[in-house]
Structures are given as structure tokens and as C-alpha cells.
Amino acid sequence: MTTLTIRRPDDWHLHLRDGDMLKAVAPETARDFGRAIIMPNLVPPVVTAADATAYRDRILAALPEGADFKPLMTLYLTEGTDPADLAAAHESGLITAVKLYPAGATTNSDSGVKDINNAMHILEKMAEIGCPLCIHGEVTDSHIDIFDREAVFIDTILDPLRKRLPDLKIISEHITTKNGVDYVKSADKNLAATITTHHLIINRNHILAGGIRPHYYCLPVAKREEHRRALVDAATSGDARFFLGTDSAPHTDPNKLMECGCAGVFSATNTMSCLAHVFETEGKLENLEAFASLNGPTYYGLPVNTETLTLTKQGTPVTFPAKIETSTDPVTLFDPGFPLYWQVA
């Protein structure tokens, strides 16, 4: 197969940032994707409906003229979130979901939830009104090994939450482990997971063996190869509970390449080429559309895009810029480590 036409894909987990960075990266996503779930971890975070309205307008203003892209806004859950404000924002269509960050789990998550019991009244409201919850599923206890934080979160937080609120629609975001895959498969309803492009391609050796590679450092951190394999099998299977959330998370090079560098991989620009490569290698190109374009909207209860996107396989490698320029410093694009032949037409 050398040409593949699929419904226009969506990105169910994306960081667009703000200001000059937003202007630099928004066009990179809008080129290939119809919609994206926009992460609310700005400084300060997007907590209220008013915050989300203002941020949505800044995103729309940053898009290239004529761009066919709809940001799907989220609120950043805090223990002080007003359930009435949240419900009104969901009812009006302003927000598509709410994001739970355990406090301190990742970049700009200081105002996240310290004790989920303190947010239970808000989560109950969400279950009642059908507002989906996107979860960064890692515990933050310093005595839990960073490679175990996802598995421990499933056992100690996610599973009890699902038992307590079975009607709450949950997206376990950017899963990185076989434990995450198995847990999602064990659920009969109201649980799905996003998988990033980079977690389908790198394991922890890529970050640490033969020199430290800060551009591969993100959270949740990539795990052992057996976990990457489980993610690839889930993503390429066509199973409707798994779909694309790139977690494309731009940081400028100086912020990545420092003594305590930021977590995040920027993959918006070449994600579709990378995914086509992965799915082709697995002999599963026919399931790329389900993963990137169909399963996400179906789970969220939204229509699939009517437009299409065509990928063509070139005889020689496709080139991408190594870096995206911002008004200050560049952002390095994810390097899959192999040549890419699939090009978005």
C-alpha cells in the first residue's frame, strides 16, 4: 500500500501553551488535525469557565487564516473548583472535559488535586452531567519509584474511583505500561486510554543508554520495552478503547537542556508520519484510522470529522525541520530515530 486516505484525525491530548509559543506551535497541529483536547496546565492554570473562554479565543487568534481546527477546551480540576461553573461550561459546550492532575505529578501541576476525596463532590457532579474526566494517572509519593507510579495509581486511585463513581466517563491519558493497557481492557464501560506517538516508539533505553537524551524525557516517563510492545499492540489492534493523544508538549531547547530540564516531547509536526510508519511495521495500516480518527470521537460522543487526510509513501525519506522557531528559542521536534517515508499529502 502506498496511499492511505483516512478521516481527518484528532489529537485527544495536546499542549498548546500561550503567547509566542502558542503562535509557534498551533499551526503545527492545525495542519493535520481537525480537533484537539487542549491541556489546561498554563501558569496560572485554566480553572474557570471565564479562563477557558479567554484561552479558547487566544488559540483561535493564533491559528493560521482559514485553518480548519477546533480546540476542545478543558478545565484544570482543583479542590476548589466550583461545580456549578464547571457544569455550566460543559452544558454550554465551552468545555469538552475536565483534567485531573495529581498535585506535583508533572509540568505546571502545583495547583492540582492533593487528595481526591476533597474533589469527590465535583467528580460526582461530573458523573451526573456526563462530563468526561481526563486523568494524568501517576501517584506523586516520593517513595514510589518513578517507573512504578502509573501502576500504583491504577491500584490505589483509579480503580477505587471507578468503583465509587461507575457513571463517571474517564480517559486514562498517555498510558505507558502493560498494566495500563490491561486495566483498560478489563473495563466494560466508561474507561478508555490515550496513547502518545513517542511512547509507541521509544522505551527507557532511548532516554538513558549511551548518553542522556533530554528530548526523550517526558512524563509519564517511557518504560521498558515490554511495556512499549503492549502499547503498540493496543494502539494497532483497532480496539475502540485506545486512541491517539500525542501529548505534544513543547518546551524551548534551553528549558530542556539544563540541569533540571522540563518534561515533554514535541511531536505535533511529524506525528502522522510516525504513526503510519509504526502501523505499517505492525502490518496494521488498516487500523490507523480507528486509532487516530474514529475511536476518540466515538468515546467522547462527538461526530467523526467529515474531511479526510491522505498519506502517501515516498521512495526517499520525508524531511521535517529539526526545530520549530519561536520568537525566543527553538523547540526541538521529536526524532523517531528512523527515516520516515509516509507523507501527509
Q: Which does 51 bind (CB under 5 to 8 A by kind): Zn ion, ligand NCD, none?
A: none
Between 41 and 273, CB nearer to ligand NCD: 41
**Bond before 44 cis per omega within 30 degrees:** yes
Q: Could you say which of ligand NCD, Zn ion, none residue 270 binds, taking C-beta under 5 to 8 angstroms by partner kind?
A: none
- The grid coordinates of residue 135 equal 486523568
* Cell numbers representing residue 103 in the block: 498535585
Rounded Cα–Cα distance for residues 65 and 73 (Å): 20
What string marks each residue from 136 to 175 as x (binds ligand NCD by CB under 6 A) or -? x---------------------------------------
Query: Closest Cα to residue 134, out of 188, 98, 165?
Result: 98
* CB nearer Zn ion, residue 199 or residue 227: 199
Shortest Å, Cβ 87 to ligand NCD: 25
CB closer to ligand NCD out of 106 and 203: 106
Residue 277 touches which of ligand NCD, Zn ion, none (Cβ within 5-8 Å per kind):
none
Choose the one of ligand NCD, Zn ion, none that binds residue 144, judging by a C-beta under 5 to 8 angstroms depending on kind. Answer: none
Does 247 participate in catalysis according to the annotation? yes
Window of 52-60, 191-199, 246-254, 300-308 that interacts with Zn ion by CB under 5 A: 246-254
Task: State the nearest-atom distance from the C-beta of 13 to ligand NCD, in Å.
Answer: 7
1/260 with CB nearer ligand NCD: 260
Least Å distance between CB 221 and ligand NCD?
Answer: 8
For the bound state, the minimum distance from the C-beta of residue 40 to ligand NCD, rounded and expressed in Å, comes to: 10
Q: Phi and psi at residue 82, in whole multiples of 5°?
A: -85, 115
263 is a contact residue toward ligand NCD (CB under 6 A): yes
d(CA 204, CA 193): 21
Nearer to Zn ion, 165 or 202 (CB): 202
Residue 195: CB minimum distance to Zn ion, A: 12
Q: Residue 233 CA to chain centroid, in angstroms?
A: 18
Span 102-121, contacts to ligand NCD by CB under 6 A: 106-108
The answer to whether 135 and 175 have CB atoms below 8 angstroms apart is no
Determine the Cα–Cα distance for residues 7 and 292; give it in Å rounded to an integer: 9
Q: What is the distance between the alpha carbons of residues 108 and 120, in angstroms, rounded to a whole number? A: 22
Q: Which is nearer to ligand NCD, 15 or 56 (CB)?
A: 15
SS3 171: strand
- Cβ-based nearer residue to Zn ion, 247 or 280: 247
Looking at 10, 11, 51, 247, which residue is catalytic?
Answer: 247
Hey, what's the cell of 281? 511495521
Distance CA(286)–CA(66), nearest Å, equals: 30
Burial class (CB within 10 angstroms; exposed 0-12, middle 13-18, buried 19+) of 229: middle
One residue of 51, 247, 280, 289 binding Zn ion per CB under 5 A: 247
Least Å from the CB of residue 193 to ligand NCD: 14
CA distances (Å), origin 283, targets 79, 210, 215, 232: 46, 30, 28, 12
Q: Judged by CB under 6 A, does residue 37 bind ligand NCD?
A: no
Grid cell of 220 as nine digits: 509519564
| Contact call for residues 77 and 52 (beta carbons, < 8 A) | no
Sole binder of ligand NCD in the list 151, 249, 275, 285 (CB under 6 A): 249
CB of 13 to Zn ion, least distance (A): 6
Q: Contacts by 160-168 with C-beta closer than 8 Å and gap 24+? A: 161/116, 161/123, 162/187, 162/190, 162/191, 164/120, 165/123, 165/124, 165/127, 166/190, 167/127, 167/128, 168/123, 168/126, 168/127, 168/133
Write out the residues near Zn ion by the rule CB under 5 A: 247
Write out the residues near ligand NCD by the rule CB under 6 A: 15, 41, 106-108, 136, 218-219, 247, 249, 263-264
Residues with catalytic annotation? 247
